[in-house]
């Protein structure tokens, strides 16, 4: 295993010109070089752009910042009100939300829903075709009030952003409906989703964000579409054996007051949660919490009868019960107490694509938004809070204490270490199954290589579940120590996906732990775990989805640490592009993220040593290049304007580049962006006079011919197909040449 430092140099994304850009070291003349700040002035003089460019969705900023003069492209044009257009993210949380908080909330306890037929029928009458899960799912993502969680040492902490995810009890049934249809990679679906979102944004916006700056002048807020990519990547809901985040912690068994034999129906539903075709996969631990809900129909049934039935339920099934009072009538927007149902934040790429196809015909009719009565919303929020506070969190805390005492403590002690060494080197202490199967060299014999998972009750599976439970309860110190404890066991058993997952989550837990050290040696150890996880995921398991997730999480958490860790974050973002895990749009977003990582590097001392403004500007130029290849000139202009701002901080007072060839390269790119704007507005750019007049510049025939040749190369980008995504080869040379010459 090679360390990240010994690995081959990482190659950045492709150059728009189709060939390496070699910028020779040369002298320059201040009279012949254009200042990067003049880009906005040129566009301000272009009347057609100023009069026809649509409003672009900016990030939410303070009034003082949004009203201040800006050197950006869109700041100089006449634009309609933002309220008149829709955000590409709809009503998702504000884009200024911390990505660290987003990552923490993405690993939430999964609660399965198993409802009776009468309950599903009642909910469908309310307008929710997906049944009871569709009704309660959005409210689990934002629990009202603080949720107090106790960690392994007994200290308690309240969380304002605690959430849960409602999932299907048996998700494999969805894939068995049409076994002849080949599965589509979630990364292909993610790229298709981003392409559709960008396409829909083009009609009204053509640009989604305006990068805000931190008080130190660093780009600290990611674009909404990058957060959309990250959310959908973290929302891939396919359950896997090697991690238990998508395994149900509890199951909500639901019947309605319409049921003729309620108690018998509850017993049958309980049996079906562990047996038959409706049971979870065999690698899911069957000892999850059962929570019983009686849905009372406020419009048609008697509350006295439902109350008596609810008391019987508590006597038969214990205290994990709830009476949910809902109206069966469908709510419409014209009702006095109607409340709009919030959208789901954590939709997988497949779910969102399906939802977009279903609602495309409803948008024109204005019926794509669901509504509930205010009393129903209050009842559902009360149900979810009681479920989490009184049942799910105490259940998880008890399981963590039990497994930590009975399983993990035996491994951490001296005797546990001795037995582990004995199994590894002598085979002493191995199970009888290990001996009968001929395994040796420290293999436990608990791993079933033919099916690819551990049985849920063996120590290796329980330790992974302990780490995941501690992680979801945000006890990152216990989670990191547990993942570290079991890593060697997975390596000995050659359970490579478990091995990769343990390294990944050990690194993520260490980065999320606020008490962990940020010294260089600790960061290098984290880099080694990330490298091992990516190698096992991609090379040994061919799992591109988890590889990209591991790299994306590492980039954001290292970036949030600041200091030297930001350069490590940029390096891992480059690695994701080098491996070709994302499509063209994803590559452009990660290129922007490399720039953001370098821009967040703070300087030290009065001389401002250690900042990486020029590297950030160079990668912002490459991002603009990528957007221009994709036919998004407004997005390209945003990146070029960010490069202007970053270069202005390190160049001389006139903002002049130290090399004329570098200035010429950027000017050509800016000119291509402006011409592409004109073409997007229907201007005939084949007429040199029209182009020169619209741009407000005196263009010679030779310059226009050069621009046309460049543009034909710029726009020659290949579409994403269903095959493997491979990176282009020349991009590393161009970025490296720019970096070496300009840094």
Per-residue pLDDT tens for 485-515? Answer: 999 999 999 999 999 999 999 999 999 987 7
What pLDDT, on the 0 to 100 scale, is given for residue 364? 53
pLDDT band at 277; cut points 50, 70, 90: confident
pLDDT digits 0-9 by tens, 17-26? 333 333 333 3
Could you give the CA distance from residue 354 to residue 682 in angstroms, rounded to a whole number? 33
Averaged pLDDT score across all residues of the chain: 75
What pLDDT, on the 0 to 100 scale, is given for residue 90? 37
Of the ranges 32-46, 97-111, 220-234, the best mean pLDDT one? 97-111
DSSP state letters, 419-432:
HHHHHHHT-TT--H
Question: Quick check: 320 pLDDT over 90?
Answer: yes
Give the position of tokens 């009203």.
67
Provide the total of helices (H) and of strands (E) in the chain, helices listed first.
Answer: 30, 11
What pLDDT, on the 0 to 100 scale, is given for residue 154? 86
What pLDDT, on the 0 to 100 scale, is given for residue 655? 55
pLDDT band at 214; cut points 50, 70, 90: very low
What pLDDT, on the 0 to 100 scale, is given for residue 49? 32
Give the position of tokens 């543009």.
711
Q: By percentage, how much of the chain surpasses pLDDT 90?
A: 46
Could you give the CA distance from residue 103 to residue 431 in angstroms, rounded to a whole number? 39
pTM reported for the whole predicted model: 0.78
pLDDT band at 444; cut points 50, 70, 90: low
pLDDT digits 0-9 by tens, 430-439? 433 333 333 3
Question: Quick check: 94 pLDDT over 90?
Answer: no
Mean pLDDT computed over 201-222? 40
Question: Quick check: 51 pLDDT over 80?
Answer: no
pLDDT band at 183; cut points 50, 70, 90: confident
Could you give the CA distance from residue 651 to residue 18 in angstroms, rounded to a whole number? 28
pLDDT band at 182; cut points 50, 70, 90: confident
The sign of the dihedral angle between the CA atoms of 84, 86, 91, 92 is: negative
What pLDDT, on the 0 to 100 scale, is given for residue 259? 92
Instruction: Determine how β-strand 447-448 pairs with β-strand 453-454.
Output: antiparallel
What pLDDT, on the 0 to 100 scale, is given for residue 6? 44
What pLDDT, on the 0 to 100 scale, is given for residue 676? 79
pLDDT digits 0-9 by tens, 402-439? 999 999 988 876 445 444 544 444 444 443 333 333 33
What pLDDT, on the 0 to 100 scale, is given for residue 614? 87
> Encoding tokens for residue 473?
């309860």
Which string of b and e fits 239-257 if b means at least 16 CB within 10 Å? bbbbbbbbbbbbbbbbbbb
pLDDT digits 0-9 by tens, 702-736? 444 444 444 443 344 333 333 333 334 444 444 44
More confident residue, 518 or 54: 518
CB 632 within 8 A of CB 611: no
pLDDT band at 690; cut points 50, 70, 90: low
pLDDT digits 0-9 by tens, 628-670? 899 888 888 889 888 888 888 777 655 566 667 777 878 888 8
Mean pLDDT computed over 386-394? 96
More confident residue, 696 or 742: 696
Mean pLDDT computed over 681-708? 55
CA 734 to each of CA 177, 296, 595, 653, 707: distance values in angstroms, whole numbers, following the listed order? 49, 66, 16, 28, 20
Of the ranges 57-66, 80-89, 296-305, the best mean pLDDT one? 296-305
CB 659 within 8 A of CB 741: yes
Helices (H), 90-131: 99-106, 117-125
DSSP state letters, 436-484:
HTT--TT--S-EETTTTEE-TTSHHHHHHHHHHHHHHTT-HHHHHHHHH
Mean pLDDT computed over 603-628? 82
Give the position of tokens 């940020």.
518
* Closest by CA position to 408, among listed 475, 483, 473: 483
DSSP state letters, 121-156:
HHHHHTT-TT-HHHHHHHHHTS-SS-EEEE-TTS-E
Q: How far apart are the first and last CA of the chain?
A: 31
Specify the range with the lowest mean pLDDT, choosing from 176-190, 252-266, 410-424, 672-686. Answer: 410-424
pLDDT band at 73; cut points 50, 70, 90: very low
Taking the domains of the chain in order of start, what are their residue ranges? Answer: 10-57+70-88+197-218+615-743, 108-170+243-399, 416-452
Question: Quick check: 583 pLDDT over 70?
Answer: yes
């Amino acid at each position: 295993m090679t360390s990240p430092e010994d690995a081959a140099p990482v190659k950045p994304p492709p150059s728009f010109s189709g060939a390496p850009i070699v910028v020779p070291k040369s002298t320059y003349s201040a009279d012949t070089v254009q200042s990067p700040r003049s880009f906005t002035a040129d566009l301000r003089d272009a009347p057609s752009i100023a009069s026809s460019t649509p409003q672009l969705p900016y990030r939410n900023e303070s009034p003082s910042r949004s009203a201040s003069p800006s050197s950006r492209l869109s700041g100089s044009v006449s634009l309609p009100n933002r309220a008149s257009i829709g955000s590409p993210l709809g009503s998702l949380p504000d884009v200024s939300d911390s990505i660290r908080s987003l990552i923490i909330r993405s690993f939430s306890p999964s609660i399965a829903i198993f409802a009776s037929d009468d309950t599903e029928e009642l909910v469908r009458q309310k307008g929710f075709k997906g049944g009871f899960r569709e009704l309660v799912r959005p409210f689990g993502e934002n629990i009202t009030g603080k949720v107090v969680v106790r960690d392994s040492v007994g200290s308690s902490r309240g969380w304002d952003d605690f959430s849960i995810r409602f999932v299907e009890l048996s998700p494999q049934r969805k894939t068995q409906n049409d076994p002849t249809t080949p599965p589509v990679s979630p990364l292909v679906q993610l790229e298709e989703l981003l392409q559709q979102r960008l396409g829909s944004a083009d009609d009204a916006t053509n640009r989604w964000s305006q990068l805000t700056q931190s008080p130190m002048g660093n780009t600290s807020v990611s674009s909404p579409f990058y957060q959309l990519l990250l959310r959908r990547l973290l929302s891939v809901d396919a359950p896997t054996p090697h991690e238990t985040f998508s395994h149900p912690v509890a199951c909500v068994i639901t019947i309605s007051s319409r049921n003729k034999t309620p108690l018998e129906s509850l017993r049958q539903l309980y049996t079906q949660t562990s047996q038959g075709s409706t049971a979870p996969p065999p690698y899911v631990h069957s000892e999850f919490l059962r929570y019983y809900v009686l849905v009372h129909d406020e419009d048609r049934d008697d509350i006295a009868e439902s109350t008596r039935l609810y008391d019987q339920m508590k006597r038969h099934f214990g205290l994990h019960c709830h009476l949910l009072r809902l109206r069966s009538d469908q709510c419409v927007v014209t009702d006095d107490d109607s409340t709009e149902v919030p959208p789901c934040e954590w939709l997988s790429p497949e779910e969102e694509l399906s939802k977009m196809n279903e609602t495309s015909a409803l948008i024109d009719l204005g019926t794509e938004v669901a509504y509930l009565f205010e009393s129903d919303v209050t009842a559902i929020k009360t149900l979810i809070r009681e479920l989490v506070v009184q049942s799910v969190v105490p259940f998880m805390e008890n399981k963590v204490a039990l497994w930590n005492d009975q399983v993990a403590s035996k491994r951490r002690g001296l005797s546990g270490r001795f037995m582990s060494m004995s199994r590894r080197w002598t085979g002493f202490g191995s199970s009888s199954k290990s001996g009968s199967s001929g395994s040796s060299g420290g293999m436990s014999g608990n791993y079933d290589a033919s099916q690819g998972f551990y049985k849920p009750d063996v120590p290796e599976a329980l330790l992974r579940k302990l780490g995941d439970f501690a992680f979801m309860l945000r006890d990152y110190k216990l989670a990191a120590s547990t993942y570290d404890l079991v890593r060697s066991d997975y390596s000995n058993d050659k359970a490579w996906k478990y091995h990769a997952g343990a390294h990944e989550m050990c690194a993520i837990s260490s980065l999320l732990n606020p008490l962990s050290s940020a010294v260089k040696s600790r960061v290098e150890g984290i880099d080694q775990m990330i490298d091992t996880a990516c190698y096992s995921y991609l090379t040994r398991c061919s799992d591109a989805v988890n590889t990209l997730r591991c790299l994306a999480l590492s980039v954001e958490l290292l970036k949030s640490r600041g200091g030297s860790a930001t350069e490590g974050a940029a390096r891992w973002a480059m690695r994701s592009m080098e491996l070709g895990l994302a499509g063209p749009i994803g590559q452009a977003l990660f290129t922007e993220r490399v720039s953001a990582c370098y821009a967040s590097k703070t300087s030290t001392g009065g001389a401002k040593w250690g900042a990486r403004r020029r590297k950030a500007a160079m990668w912002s130029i490459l991002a603009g290049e990528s957007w221009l290849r994709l036919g998004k000139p407004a997005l390209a202009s945003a990146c070029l304007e960010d490069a202007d701002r970053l270069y202005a901080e390190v160049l001389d007072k006139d903002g002049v580049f130290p090399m004329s060839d570098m200035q010429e390269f950027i000017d050509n790119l800016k000119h291509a962006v402006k011409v592409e704007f004109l073409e997007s507005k229907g201007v005939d750019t084949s007429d040199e006079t029209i182009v020169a007049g619209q741009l407000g510049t005196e263009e010679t025939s030779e310059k226009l011919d050069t621009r046309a040749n460049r543009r034909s190369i710029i726009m020659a980008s290949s579409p994403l197909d269903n095959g493997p995504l491979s990176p282009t080869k020349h991009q590393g040379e161009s970025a490296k040449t720019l970096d070496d010459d300009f840094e």
